[in-house]
Amino acid sequence: MKKIVFITGVAGFIGSNLAKQLLKTEPRMIVVGLDNMNAYYNVRIKEARLAELEKYPNFTFIKGNLADKTLISQIFEEYKPQIVVNLGAQAGVRYSITNPDAYIESNMLGFYNILEACRHSYDNGAPGVQHLVYASSSSVYGTNKKVPYSTDDKVDNPVSLYAATKKSNELMAHAYAKLYNIPCTGLRFFTVYGPAGRPDMAYFGFTNKLLKGETIQIFNYGNCKRDFTYIDDIVEGIARVMKKPPEKKNGEDGLPIPPYALYNIGNNHSENLYLCGNEGLEHPANHQWCLP
């Protein structure tokens, strides 16, 4: 039996790596990928990732916008995906200050369209979507102090619009899981890094500047801790989760319990920027670092 997997954000860092791994290791999987190839960062990186995927006969690419409801319903009607992995989103915390519209379009409207398409995949008794997996983010933890973070922690105080959209996605998915019995799993990722990663992320920006002998600007005296996750570990996590949808079952009242799960995918060791930069020279006046 062929399994059809629909991956959004397939030209993105995580989406392209997941698609490649599935195409390489799961011969019975057909991967249908969507991406709008937006210019948030250098599109040539996205094109290069796509070129790798297009070598596989089981891969189909559709260029389009998640916010286009007609297109999303058409894709679901035509391909009837059993597994949907929503990785298409406007990422980045800083950019949400200058470009909030992009977050509402891709992360709110786009995700709503995916949920609606999943809901209607069961119309007329069709088997429909067996599992919707979607990306959330560690940014939902905001300024929480308690570590390690747990999905049981309260995350009602987002400190960026990006985080607010990710938390909203979790709430929307829960409502759709409850109302339409759609098995949904949300994954909170923690700073994913690796080859051909996202150039907007600090680790690339820092490396570029240090290689050019320029200084990097750090905040809060470099006292900034982060969990980093290698791309292959994220891909393995998603690939494992995809195959295990939360069970559909009824509660004591006879009504369905929402088949809904939420996981952190990271490790339990944070890196401190201050320690990373300890090799460099400090300029206390402006909190900048450079390599000698």
Footprint of ligand NAD (CB under 6 A):
8-9, 11-15, 34-38, 46, 65-67, 87-91, 105-106, 110, 135, 137, 189, 191-192, 198
Residue 242 is encoded by which pair of tokens? 């995809």
Inter-residue contact 29 to 23 (CB < 8 Å): yes
Pick from 271, 286, 139: which is nearest to 221 by CA?
286
Q: Which two tokens stand for residue 159?
A: 């400190």
- 103 classed as catalytic: no
CB of residue 262 vs ligand NAD: minimum separation in angstroms? Answer: 13
Query: In DSSP terms, which residues pair with 66 in a beta bridge?
Result: none
Q: For residue 52, which amino acid is it?
A: E
Q: Considering beta carbons, is residue 19 or 182 the nearer one to ligand NAD?
A: 19
Q: Which residues pair with 136 in a beta bridge?
A: 188
Three-state secondary-structure class, residue 288: strand
Output the smallest distance, CB 37 to ligand NAD, in A. 6
Task: Name the DSSP class of 219.
Answer: S
Contacts of residue 220, defined as CB under 8 A and 6 or more positions apart, other chains included, come to none
- Length of the chain as a residue count: 292
| Residue whose CB is less far from ligand NAD, 105 or 233 | 105
Query: Least distance from C-beta 240 to ligand NAD, angstroms?
Result: 17
- Residue 221 CB, nearest distance to ligand NAD (Å)? 24
* DSSP per-residue letters across 74-128: HHHHHH--SEEEE--S---STHHHH-HHHHIIIIIIHHHHHHHHHHHTTGGG---
CA distance 16 to 196: 10
Which is closer to ligand NAD, CB of 88 or CB of 222? 88
Residue nearest to ligand NAD (CB): 12
Please say which residue, 67 or 216, places its beta carbon nearer to ligand NAD. Answer: 67
Tell me, rounded to whole angstroms, the distance of Cα 51 from its chain centroid: 21
Q: Is 37 or 257 the residue whose CB approaches ligand NAD more closely?
A: 37
Is 257 strand, coil or helix? Answer: strand
Q: Which of 41, 134, 162, 180 does the annotation list as catalytic?
A: 162
Helix (H, G, I), strand (E, B) or coil at 292: coil
How far apart are CB 168 and ligand NAD at their closest, in Å?
13
- The CB-of-247 to ligand NAD minimum distance in angstroms stands at 25
In this complex, which beta carbon is closest to ligand NAD, that of residue 107 or of residue 121? 107
Q: Which residues are catalytic?
A: 162
